[in-house]
């Protein structure tokens, strides 16, 4: 599936030659993390890193996105590679010499490594531009952490950036993981990550004195009953072979010990791996909450905010990643995941439009005790092995070469 063994050998040397750049860009971004859709420092750092390459660079209009297009020497298909750029609103506690210099903000999910790997892949591929028949679109995306950044970029014409006949034939993304051994790849065909929807319920009753509940209409017992009833609905209405998670994680009611409040508020998340189960659970949440409130003499206002769709890996694209990563990194460093993960990813928006795949890249520091689980992604103490980025650059470049190098 790879063009030839000589290409693999040359690729390793080219990736090694840019590794210091990869690390330097990653550390720059790590020191200056930004949250959400507006990432001016990150955008400028990406543009600067690409400035000397033969790329057409396009900046987002509504968000701080960067799209860079590398055109090969000959016509051919288009391949899209994605790296997300945003950080998380949390305080870093790693002790790294290049730790965040922004209070309350940290690259705790490794998106700084994603950006650095994608920029270096662009550099490697630009050096082999004369071999390419087609185009590579490098998608530097803000707002993955719940802000729907990929959807904004699609709405701004990401997939038509190279013209109506140049829509990508494939799209790929890597996501680093602090718990997978460094430089290893994990993926699976089909559903990889869940759809994620937010549930908000406001139960409304009548306030009163806590010593006389018969003179009030207490929303707290109704809200408490809803938590249990929703779990029962999950286990009794969803097929036991169909994964689904419903967690109420936020409950607010009342202000003091002797006042029955007017309202109680519930908030949580719903995770599903198919649109059918997603629709079923949405209906169940409305039904259970409204009828449970009614049984207590209260009313319920139910809102379900749509989050990211299911991230579905195209089977052929996943097989291509598996084969190429095995060729480039070693067959023993690539494995198929037994089950999906109930986290969510907005690369799902791209995969709904273009066949492709997302894979996990191991970033667990090798010096850690293998018997101890390290701090995971989204931990304030998470640390990634920077040498793993060389594997990510190589896989990104290999995927583009595989699609675009014609014998």
Q: Are residues 93 and 177 in the same domain?
A: yes
Whole-number mean pLDDT of the chain? 96
- In the prediction, which pLDDT does 290 show? 98
d(CA 230, CA 279) in angstroms, rounded, equals: 15
Query: Is the predicted pLDDT of residue 246 greater than 80, yes or no?
Result: yes
Query: Is the predicted pLDDT of residue 7 greater than 80, yes or no?
Result: no
Q: Are residues 171 and 48 in the same domain?
A: yes
Tens-place pLDDT, residues 163-209? 767 899 999 999 999 999 999 999 999 999 999 999 999 999 999 99
Query: Is the predicted pLDDT of residue 371 greater than 90, yes or no?
Result: no
**Which residue, of 284, 305, 326, is where some domain finishes?**
305
139: containing domain? 5-192+310-404
Tens-place pLDDT, residues 32-80? 999 999 999 999 999 999 999 999 999 999 999 999 999 999 999 999 9
d(CA 193, CA 181) in angstroms, rounded, equals: 20
- In the prediction, which pLDDT does 5 show? 64
d(CA 331, CA 393) in angstroms, rounded, equals: 17
pLDDT band of residue 2 (cuts 50, 70, 90) is: low
CATH code, domain with 272 = 3.30.70.360
* Nearby residues of 19 by Cβ (< 8 Å), 6 or more positions away: 120, 389, 390, 393
For residues 279-287, give the mean pLDDT.
97
Is 106 strand, coil or helix? strand
* Nearby residues of 106 by Cβ (< 8 Å), 6 or more positions away: 33, 87, 88, 90, 91, 92, 100, 380
Q: Assess whether 308 carries a catalytic annotation.
A: yes
Torsion of CA 114, 120, 126, 131, to 10 degrees: -80
d(CA 252, CA 270) in angstroms, rounded, equals: 19
Contact yes or no for 72/2 (Cβ under 8 A): no
- In the prediction, which pLDDT does 10 show? 87
Query: Is the predicted pLDDT of residue 380 greater than 90, yes or no?
Result: yes
Is 58 strand, coil or helix? strand
**Which residue, of 305, 327, 360, is where some domain finishes?**
305
pLDDT band of residue 9 (cuts 50, 70, 90) is: confident
- Of 289, 294, 293, 306, residue with least CA distance to 232: 289
Q: Are residues 160 and 30 in the same domain?
A: yes
Q: Are residues 74 and 38 in the same domain?
A: yes
- In the prediction, which pLDDT does 114 show? 98
Q: Are residues 177 and 275 in the same domain?
A: no
Q: How far is CA 109 from CA 172, 221, 278, 317, in A?
A: 18, 38, 26, 24
- In the prediction, which pLDDT does 8 show? 75
- In the prediction, which pLDDT does 204 show? 98
Domain count, the chain: 2
Is 314 strand, coil or helix? coil
Q: Are residues 169 and 62 in the same domain?
A: yes
Q: Are residues 183 and 201 in the same domain?
A: no
Q: Which two tokens stand for residue 136?
A: 């590579």
Contact yes or no for 121/393 (Cβ under 8 A): yes
Contact yes or no for 324/173 (Cβ under 8 A): no
Q: Which two tokens stand for residue 100?
A: 């965040």
Tens-place pLDDT, residues 309-354? 999 999 999 999 999 999 999 999 999 999 999 999 999 999 999 9
Q: Are residues 175 and 199 in the same domain?
A: no
* Nearby residues of 54 by Cβ (< 8 Å), 6 or more positions away: 70, 71, 126, 129
Distance of alpha carbon 311 from the chain centroid: 9
Q: Are residues 45 and 152 in the same domain?
A: yes
Q: Are residues 359 and 340 in the same domain?
A: yes
Contact yes or no for 144/150 (Cβ under 8 A): yes
For residues 136-161, give the mean pLDDT.
96
* Nearby residues of 283 by Cβ (< 8 Å), 6 or more positions away: none
**Which residue, of 305, 339, 364, is where some domain finishes?**
305
End-to-end CA distance of the chain: 12
Q: Assess whether 349 carries a catalytic annotation.
A: no
CATH code, domain with 140 = 3.40.630.10
- Angle between helices 19-31 and 5-17 in degrees, nearest 10: 50
Read off the pTM.
0.94
Helix (H) or strand (E) holding 249: strand 244-253
Tens-place pLDDT, residues 91-104? 999 999 999 999 99
Query: Is the predicted pLDDT of residue 243 greater than 90, yes or no?
Result: yes
Percent of the chain with pLDDT over 90: 94
Query: Is the predicted pLDDT of residue 236 greater than 90, yes or no?
Result: yes
Q: Are residues 233 and 291 in the same domain?
A: yes
Q: Are residues 147 and 256 in the same domain?
A: no
- Annotated active-site residue in 262, 267, 301, 386: 386
d(CA 64, CA 41) in angstroms, rounded, equals: 9
Tens-place pLDDT, residues 219-233? 999 999 999 999 999
d(CA 39, CA 32) in angstroms, rounded, equals: 10
For residues 130-136, give the mean pLDDT.
95
Q: Which two tokens stand for residue 85?
A: 């750029």
- In the prediction, which pLDDT does 128 show? 95
pLDDT band of residue 161 (cuts 50, 70, 90) is: confident
Tens-place pLDDT, residues 292-301? 999 999 999 9
pLDDT band of residue 406 (cuts 50, 70, 90) is: confident
- Annotated active-site residue in 152, 172, 308, 349: 308
Q: Which residue has the higher pLDDT, 392 or 372?
A: 392
């Amino acid at each position: 599936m790879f063009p030839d063994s000589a290409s693999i050998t040359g690729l390793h040397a080219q990736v090694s030659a840019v590794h210091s750049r990869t690390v330097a860009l990653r550390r720059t971004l790590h020191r200056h993390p930004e949250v959400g859709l507006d990432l001016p420092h990150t955008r400028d750092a990406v543009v600067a890193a690409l400035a000397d390459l033969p790329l057409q660079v396009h900046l987002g209009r509504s968000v701080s996105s960067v799209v860079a297009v590398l055109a090969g020497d000959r016509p051919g298909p288009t391949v899209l590679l994605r790296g997300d750029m945003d950080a998380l609103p949390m305080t870093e506690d790693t002790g790294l010499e290049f730790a965040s210099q922004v209070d309350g903000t940290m690259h705790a999910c490794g998106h700084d490594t994603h950006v650095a790997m994608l920029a270096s892949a662009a550099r490697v591929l630009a050096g082999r531009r004369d071999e390419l028949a087609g185009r590579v679109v490098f998608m530097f995306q803000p707002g993955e952490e719940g802000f729907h950044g990929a959807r904004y970029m699609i709405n701004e014409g990401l997939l038509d950036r190279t013209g109506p006949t140049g829509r990508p034939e494939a799209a790929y993304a890597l996501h680093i993981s602090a718990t997978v051994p460094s430089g290893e790849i994990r993926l699976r065909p089909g559903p990889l990550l869940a759809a994620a929807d937010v549930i908000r319920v406001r139960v409304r009753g009548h306030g009163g004195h806590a010593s006389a509940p018969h003179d009030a209409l207490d929303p707290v017992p109704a809200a408490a009953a809803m938590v249990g009833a929703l779990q029962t609905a999950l286990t009794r209405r969803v097929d036991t072979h169909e994964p689904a998670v419903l967690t109420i994680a936020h409950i607010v009611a009342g202000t003091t010990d002797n006042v029955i409040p007017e309202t109680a508020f519930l908030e949580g998340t719903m995770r599903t791996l198919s649109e059918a189960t997603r629709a079923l659970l949405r209906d169940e949440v409305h039904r259970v909450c409204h009828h449970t409130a009614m049984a207590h003499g209260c009313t319920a206002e139910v809102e379900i905010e749509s989050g990211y769709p299911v991230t579905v890996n195209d089977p052929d694209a996943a097989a291509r990643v598996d084969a190429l990563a095995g060729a480039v990194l070693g067959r023993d460093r690539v494995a198929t995941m037994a089950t999906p993960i109930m986290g969510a990813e907005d690369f799902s928006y791209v995969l709904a439009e273009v066949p492709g795949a997302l894979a996990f890249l191991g970033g667990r520091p090798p010096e850690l005790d293998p018997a101890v689980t390290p701090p995971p992604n989204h931990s304030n103490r998470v640390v990634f092995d920077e040498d793993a980025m060389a594997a990510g650059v190589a896989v990104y470049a290999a995927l583009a070469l595989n699609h675009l190098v014609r014998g």
